[in-house]
Structure 1
Amino acid sequence: MKRQFSIVLLMIAFALNAQTTANRFFYELTFKPKQDSAKLEKVMTVLDISKDKSIYQDYTLPAQDSLIKVAVDEMEKTKTWKDISKSLVLPKFTYKVIKSYPSMKSTYEDRISRNLFGYEEDLKFNWKISSEKEKIGEYNTQKATADFGGRQWTAWFSTDIPFQDGPYKFSGLPGLIVKIEDSGHNYSWLLKGNKKLENYSEQTEAEKINEKYGMSSKVNIVSKERFEKAYNNFKADPLAEARPYMSNAEVMNRKMPGSDVTLGQYLKEQEKIAKDFFNSNDNPIEISSSPKK
């Protein structure tokens, strides 16, 4: 009986360990942030594939996890405040796309003020697979095309990598997407490498800290239309929720702990950062709502 119990515990341990592993695929995203400009920007993004889901996001903040943790630990230890955003590279994109396996139903989520909102989609891409093949880096790939979000896309996928997934919302090909770009060269993803994560956490350090200090990690699922309306309102006034308190001079003149910066100055700086972020990109990936059938 004791031996059987030990075997059960061992099986549970293996199961728990399996849940903490993931395959991380690094995609370099080249994109045109302004519709009327030829200027291109680049950012590294990642697709993390675990047993029952994949998570796609900008890699800028996760790449700085250790720096964020050290800075916050120091603030908690010394009881002083420091605006660490000045020492961080800020992301180009803040959203995540989570796809559930095996259905591939996706959830697009982003933070709107202090809360996380998301919308779900059950996208079925009408891929047209060509016989054309190409070697991209170390990968043997095959061509496929589809219309999505008002753009025409060409993808190159590899059956050598047995995941029917890809960056952003793209999925449904008989292998991982190695490269995908639209016909206007507004957005182009290229697989640059991959690695196995043995102690995988879905949350970044920044997200753990936000949750610790009162920013909910629960995703409020709403319709896509409601999400876009709320997000557009947030873009127009990033400090809308804080606005009622900003008329209180006493509160706004309070110094941040261990700092000469007032709360009012800090909020003003955060408003500028948010507006600069929103104004930096007026060329969305999707210029219409759904893939053409």
Structure 2
Amino acid sequence: MKNDLFYLDTLENQSVFIRKEKKETDSLLAANINFNPTFSSFGTMNFKVVKDTKNMTIILKDDLQAGVLSYKETIQLQWKLSQENKVLDNIKVQKAETDYGGRSWIAWFAADIPVFDGPYVFMGLPGLIVEMEDSANEYHWRLIGNKKISQSELQTETVMDGEGLISKEAYIKNKESLMKDPLPVLMQAMSEVTKDTKAMDNMRQQAEALKKYYQDNDNSIER
């Protein structure tokens, strides 16, 4: 079992869902601060989901350490609303269910909070999703707090439309290939000058470590 903290930054009809460590890493990169992230700091959910809640579209930017893959998708969720209600941390919530990414999901949303958004790609309910889990209880998100921040702090910088985007089918195929053998992708970043014996040995060791990491952490959200 692993625990992570995520942020859902919202601004009008746009939002960004991102893991805390990923947001901090991006901030360091933007500030040109040198750092040496490890596989564990990257995690298996090193993605950023940018949403357009008005048009029900998302851009997912997945940083796989050996390469970044991005795709755009129109989300078509068929929500089934239930009359079941409960209270979570003094917030009245209502149950809803949907299927997405090979999993069945249960959501609890607060109609009193007019933010039609939630974790990962989920959105479109008449209120903020306060809690969400899949039927196998392998993924479970729960709201633990909220605060207002300045517009300059919002993580709304994104992959622009059409910039570096591929189809979701190509994303899945490329991601599977990269996770099986990250060495070719890692080598692309090396110039011919640096491809000496020692550098190649280090690159192969890094590729094997990355490959093993993904093999040990292969329970992806979508399957």
Please give the alpha-carbon distance, in whole angstroms, between the structure 1 residues aligned to 2:175 and 2:13. Answer: 28
Please report how far the alpha carbon of residue 168 of structure 1 lies from its aligned counterpart in structure 2 after TM superposition.
0.7
- Say whether the 8 Å CA contact 2:22–2:42 is kept in structure 1: yes
Matched, 1:186 2:186: no
- Say whether the 8 Å CA contact 1:53–1:99 is kept in structure 2: yes
Please give the alpha-carbon distance, in whole angstroms, between the structure 2 residues aligned to 1:123 and 1:87. Answer: 30
The 5-angstrom pairing of residues 215-230 of structure 1 reads 219-230=163-174
Q: SS of 2:3's equivalent?
A: strand
Please report how far the alpha carbon of residue 172 of structure 1 lies from its aligned counterpart in structure 2 after TM superposition.
1.0
Please give the alpha-carbon distance, in whole angstroms, between the structure 2 residues aligned to 1:140 and 1:179. Answer: 12
Instruction: Please identify the structure whose Cα radius of gyration is greater.
Output: 1
Matched, 1:232 2:198: no
Query: In the alignment, residue 220 of structure 1 is paired with which amino acid?
Result: G
> What's the counterpart of residue 275 of structure 1?
211
**CA 1:272–1:61: 2 relative to 1, 3 Å:** farther
> What's the counterpart of residue 82 of structure 2?
130
Please give the alpha-carbon distance, in whole angstroms, between the structure 2 residues aligned to 1:241 and 1:138. Answer: 49
**CA 1:189–1:221: 2 relative to 1, 3 Å:** same
Query: In the alignment, residue 215 of structure 2 is paired with which amino acid?
Result: N
> What's the counterpart of residue 45 of structure 2?
93
Please report how far the alpha carbon of residue 65 of structure 1 lies from its aligned counterpart in structure 2 after TM superposition.
6.5
Deviations 1:110-158 (A, max 9, x none): 2467764322222222211112111111321111112222222111000
Please give the alpha-carbon distance, in whole angstroms, between the structure 2 residues aligned to 1:245 and 1:141. Answer: 49
Please report how far the alpha carbon of residue 286 of structure 1 lies from its aligned counterpart in structure 2 after TM superposition.
2.0
| More deviation, 169-178/195-204 | 195-204
Please give the alpha-carbon distance, in whole angstroms, between the structure 2 residues aligned to 1:158 and 1:247. Answer: 53
In the superposition, the TM-score normalised over structure 1's length comes to 0.63
Please give the alpha-carbon distance, in whole angstroms, between the structure 2 residues aligned to 1:106 and 1:150. Answer: 18
Please report how far the alpha carbon of residue 242 of structure 1 lies from its aligned counterpart in structure 2 after TM superposition.
4.4
> What's the counterpart of residue 115 of structure 2?
163
> What's the counterpart of residue 146 of structure 1?
98
Query: In the alignment, residue 59 of structure 2 is paired with which amino acid?
Result: T
> What's the counterpart of residue 22 of structure 2?
61
Q: SS of 1:43's equivalent?
A: coil
Please give the alpha-carbon distance, in whole angstroms, between the structure 2 residues aligned to 1:229 and 1:129. Answer: 34
- Say whether the 8 Å CA contact 2:85–2:95 is kept in structure 1: yes
**CA 1:143–1:246: 2 relative to 1, 3 Å:** closer
Please give the alpha-carbon distance, in whole angstroms, between the structure 2 residues aligned to 1:219 and 1:150. Answer: 28
> What's the counterpart of residue 286 of structure 1?
222
Gap runs ≥5 in structure 1: 1-39, 76-82, 208-217, 255-261, 288-293
Match of 2:2 among 22, 41, 50: 41
Please give the alpha-carbon distance, in whole angstroms, between the structure 1 residues aligned to 2:46 and 2:38. Answer: 17
Aligned positions, number:
221
Please report how far the alpha carbon of residue 271 of structure 1 lies from its aligned counterpart in structure 2 after TM superposition.
2.1
Quick one: percent identity of the two aligned structures?
32
- Say whether the 8 Å CA contact 1:117–1:219 is kept in structure 2: no
Deviations 1:142-199 (A, max 9, x none): 1111222222211100022211111011111000100011111111111111122212
Deviations 1:211-234 (A, max 9, x none): xxxxxxx84222211111111111
> What's the counterpart of residue 200 of structure 1?
153
Please report how far the alpha carbon of residue 63 of structure 1 lies from its aligned counterpart in structure 2 after TM superposition.
3.8
> What's the counterpart of residue 177 of structure 1?
129
Please give the alpha-carbon distance, in whole angstroms, between the structure 2 residues aligned to 1:242 and 1:64. Answer: 20
RMSD: 3.5
> What's the counterpart of residue 257 of structure 1?
none
**CA 1:141–1:114: 2 relative to 1, 3 Å:** same
Please report how far the alpha carbon of residue 84 of structure 1 lies from its aligned counterpart in structure 2 after TM superposition.
1.9
